Each structure stands twice: as C-alpha cells, then as structure tokens.
Structure 1
C-alpha cells in the first residue's frame, strides 16, 4: 500500500501554551513511502487553522467533522474529547456507522489508530446511545431511522466505508424467525432497493454485522446479489472473540464488500487467552449491591445459569445479550465469588468486549441501559480485524 506524503504548514490563532505561532504539521518528503501513517498534532478545541499556502481555513465548533482539500491532498480535521486532531494524507476513508449504537466501530477505528480512517458520520434512532457516542467520540449522532436515509447523500462525504449492524432479532433463534414480514428489516431492504437501482456513486466498502443465522436468510442472498451487480467483491465469515484470545463467546456473521479488493479476515493462529476473566474484574461490590443475585433467585435458576469462577484462568463467559440485568437466564454469565453469584458490572462487560479504558459511560446512563447498549454492540477485537481488512 502506498503510504501518503504530507506537506503543509498551519498557523493557530493562539498563542497556546507550548506552541509557537506557526507549527509545521509535516514537511514534503519525496521518500515518504517508508514513513508512518500518523503525523498528526493535537491541539485544544476551539482552535482555528489556516493554511499559509492555500489560505483555506477551518474552524471546529460543536463536534462536527470537517474535511477540505489542501494542496491536492486531504486535510482531515476530526474531534476527540477535548482535542482536535488534524492529519494530512493523500488517501483517506470516511467511516460511516449505520445503527451506530454506542460506537463499537468508532472504538475499533480509534484502537486501530490509522490516520487514513476517519469517523465521519453516525446514525441511530436511540438518543441515549447518541449521548454515549458523543461523550466518547465527540461526534453528534444523527437521530433518524435508517430507512429514511437518502443513501446517495452518504456517498458525498468522501471515499467511504459503511459499517452497519441492523437489528438481529428477525434472524436470531429467540426471535420470531419471520424476517420476511418483520418491519425491523425495512432499513436493510431500503439499502437493497437503492443498490438495485444501480446508483452511479457508491462507497468504497460496506460491512454488515449480524447473528450467524443471517447467513441463511433470503435477505443475505438479495444483498449479496445487489452488491455484486454493483461491482463489489464480497466475502463472508463467522467469527467469535474466543478465536482472538478473548474469554467471551459472541459468534457473529460479517459480510465484507469492497470495490477495490477482496477483503478477507482470518482469525489468528494463536487462540490462547490474552487475559483471564479475573483480569477484567473490579473489587467485589458491597454486600447490598444490586449486582449480587438474591439467594432464592440463584437457587431457583441454578441449573439454567451460566456460572464462571473468578479463580479459573480458563473461564469463558457467555454472550452478553441486551437483556442482561433484566432477564435471569440466557442473557450472559454470572460470577461466583465467596459462595455467592453476582452479575458482571457494565464496566466489566465492556472490558470483556474489548473497549479501552478511554471509553466510558456518562453518569446519567443507568446500569440497565448500559448492559442493553453493550449487549447490542460489538466485540472490539473482532471489529478491528474486520475493519482493518476493508
């Protein structure tokens, strides 16, 4: 892959502590093929940048993402909490999240730390998810139904990668299994209809994540046919975090479609655990904490609960579903500690899903909502592998 050359100079309206009036972001380098992607500099928010050569100016206000062509290259300006990051690169890709939730794909992109991959737009009808997303990534979520989207307008952002995680209930074992007549599939059908009209402008890549049962659905067949008719090369894989050394079972289907190459993902050969369940645990909660399962409830459902022991180095947790904390059975694992059972806290579940310490929930989001959001989310190590292949 060609590594971008950077060449430009910017000034700040400062002065900011520790910054001169003029800062060189990167200088032209004819031999930049061996250089690293990330040559960015971090500035405080509310900083105005102007390029001396082109006099183009950009201003951040309110968490929006801005991109401008400067000297035949792309100036990407995007927000992280409390800082602006500006990057000059010749090629870049805008990540657009549909059904973004709390930002699993954005978290995967942040951990990848590729300067050519920019979280540019996030769409979800759930306003609480939008609060969490903006809290962590500084990008305001568009609150609208996916089926109401003007698909063509999404392509105008740039060289795009679309990540979508449509509702899984129409396809999963615990759902009605009648995806043909389920209104929750309207968004996906809207995308298929748009593709069937063979639009002239298309994103570079698309990724769809869902439960493994999606692979045998008629919607999968229709989507793949529509993508291939529009010049996409598709690959499909079912992956589980356990294949990546994560002590959590969460098998998911991934459809990866690219117009530039065949994007394949394989699990690492070494599947030994990167960490144990004990490594993600907080200190034991107080005796009266609602995390503890009542003794009578634990006795009633004893044979149906998935129980792991904190001192078992090979313990493997079950998939945490959106009903964890509300449904007693078939929603996730319980931890045995000193003869009692307790739920995993939302922070512990987030760690098992691979979220970094940088990720957090706003205080106003209750635990039950946090569990639901995480249960509807992604395994970050798997999402990273998929996203890096796009």
Structure 2
C-alpha cells in the first residue's frame, strides 16, 4: 500500500521567515504618515486659528486707538503694545510673536502674528509624528488689517454742504472763542483765503451750497429733502441754484423745524454737513465733489428767507449780518455707529467703528 508524504522542499519554510517584519515596517511608514496628517496638521490648524484670532483682535484694537486719536504716539504706532497683549492672552503658551504696521495716510493698521515655541526655531512650531518623515518644524503665521476713519456715505436730511477750506477756517477761528463761531458760506468780506471756493457769488450761482435733493439729481429722494451720498465712487453731486432752500420747500423747512425743536430742547441741534473740496459751475447751479462728512452742534443759523425756521437765534450771536449766510455752532468729534455708512474715509470729526479690511 502506497503512502503520500509531504516533505520540506528546498527549505521553503526558511524563506518565509521575516516577511511579517517587512510588511509591518512598510505599514508603519503609512501609519506614521496618517498620524502626521491627523495629529500634526491638526496642531497646525489649531495654532493658525489662535494666531488669526490674535491678529484680528490686535488690528481692530489698534485701529480703534488710531480712530480716536491718531496723535497717540504710544498707542497709534508700530510700537504699540496692545496687539502683543491680545496675542499673549489668546495664545495657549503666551509666546506668540507680533509686529504692527500703522499707515496713517491710508487709515489702516496691520498686525502680523507668528508662532513661537520653546526649543523651536522662531516663527515655527515643532511637529511630532512628521519627524519620522523628515519634517521637524513648520512655519506658521497670520495677518489682519483693520481700517479706521470717517464714514463714506449716508442719508442727509437738508443737505447743506460747506467747503473743506471753510471748515479749516472755522476751526482756526473758533479755537479762539471757546470752540464756537459762525461757519459762513457767504460773507461781506470777500478777501478771505477761501473766497474763491466758498464765498461763491461769482462762482456758484447764489453763493450757496445746497446739494440738490430733487428726484432727478444723483442720490436724491423725491420730495423728502434727503440726499444719499456715497463717497466711494466718483459721483459729482448737483447743487441747487440760488440761495433759497432747495427742492420742495415744505419738506426742507420741516427738516429745519426739526433742528429748531432739538435746539430748543437741548440747547443745540447735532447735524452732519457734507464737506466738498471742489465745485464747478455749469449753467444753473454747481457740481460738488464731496470729500468727507463733518459733525456740528448748531446753536443758531441765518439762511435765506424770513423768520423761523430759515433763521433761528441769529441775533443772539454777533458776527453774521447783512449778506452773511451760515450756521453758528461748534465742530464736534464723534463716533457714529448707526446713522452713517461705510468706513475708512477721511476723518473730518466723524469716525466709524474700525472694521477688518482683509
């Protein structure tokens, strides 16, 4: 009877030894790669989030300081310590690196944050599992820019505009009289430095600066004596010819009645005036280039027309008689959060809350 017998042929058993070790070694590379992706990359995202939060908070804080007072040498500067304080507070190890860049011409504050870790190269964080693949560290940082400055638009009831030159003259004059003076549009003295701009009898018909609130004018609301301005584009706003209250007189007089009521209740009416830098004179009116928005507390005014509301308490404050037209009050600085729009425009006394621009 024949028997079948299995024998070891040519040492096949010995050839299979160590195969498992090779497979494990190969798989470990893949496992370490997945660990690097899941753990090290997660660490980088976590660090990036902290740095970005710190950069955002620092830029907003720095722009807020500059918006209140650009002359604050310690606060509104590249050397301000506020962004670093915020970065340290938001960092898990209080080691973040921070640099500031303040541009007062562009009204922007930029804060850059970079990672820092004990034992690691500056601007870098150490990696754990990726070291097995030859990557010991990774550089990581964040950046944020915030803008401050005046609003760039808004809806203006009773849109009376003054020149930038007149505003500067007013500030210089009022500084000597407790902050209050007449902001004049047309004066008996036509020799003032701004006479070619805003003493406008021979430039703008009627010598006045009412922006036209009629429906066919840019930004106008029909019949409401309201003009919506947008300083971010190149729109030139039409002026109303003459020095009488423009548009539908009853609506504009109603706005003045509102000023009267506010002044009688509070002692003054707080209003916004568009400020123009240039005016041209096509037939029948003027075209105004608006540069900014200024805030005033108005105590009295003398406009064309007789009696209230066109004229209010003008005789109580000497300095504007005869052909003089203007408002008596003080230029104020204020932070607007609701009435006006935009931000980062020219700061003429009215600023918006700082906002991130990138």
TM-score between both structures, scaled by the size of structure 2: 0.26
Which protein has the larger Cα radius of gyration, Structure 1 or Structure 2?
2
**Structure 1-normalised TM-score?**
0.24
